[in-house]
Amino acid sequence: MTHLDVIEYLDTVLSDQVVVDDLIKILSDPSVNWKIFLDEDKEGVISLPNDVPFEITTKCVLKEYYDVGFGSSLRVTVAVGGVSSFGHGVIAAKYFFATMYYTIDSKLITLDYHKEMR
């Protein structure tokens, strides 16, 4: 198995469209209504336009050797608003990043919102 096989596996078990659809479902929920509060953002609530673009920046398989966190799982990071800049190996999102955690069989567990790439 090569790294290309791993990448193909990731895209097969968790397509980019499924990730984006999951994020849209969460953001469009009436309790969220396209507004996100980031603890690290001094401005407080970020209101998103309904047609905000999403750009996947990272998709990976995590193998845990100990029973910690979510165990072996999948993680996807999405730049909400798209990537606004990229330089010296650092990616910035227009609004924020959403890091989404999935079970190894592609069921969404939880997600985190943050300003900087992690």
State the amino acid at position 80 in one-letter form. V
Half-sphere exposure of 89 (CA within 13 A, CB side): 1
User: When comparing pLDDT for 44 and 74, which is higher?
Assistant: 74
Q: How far is CA 31 from CA 26, 35, 64, 97, 105, in A?
A: 9, 9, 33, 20, 27
Q: Reply yes or no on whether the pLDDT at 42 is more than 80.
A: no
Domain that holds residue 24: 3-116
What pTM value is reported for the model?
Answer: 0.91
Q: How many domains does the chain have?
A: 1
Single out the residue of 59, 62, 80 nearest to residue 71, CA to CA. Answer: 62
State the pLDDT at residue 13.
95
Give 45's contacts (C-beta < 8 A, 6+ positions apart): 35, 36, 37
State the amino acid at position 90 in one-letter form. V
- Taking only the tens place, the pLDDT of each residue in 55-90 is 999 999 999 999 888 899 999 999 999 999 998 889
Residue 109 phi/psi, 5-degree rounding, is: -95, -55
**For the chain, percent of residues with pLDDT exceeding 90:** 72
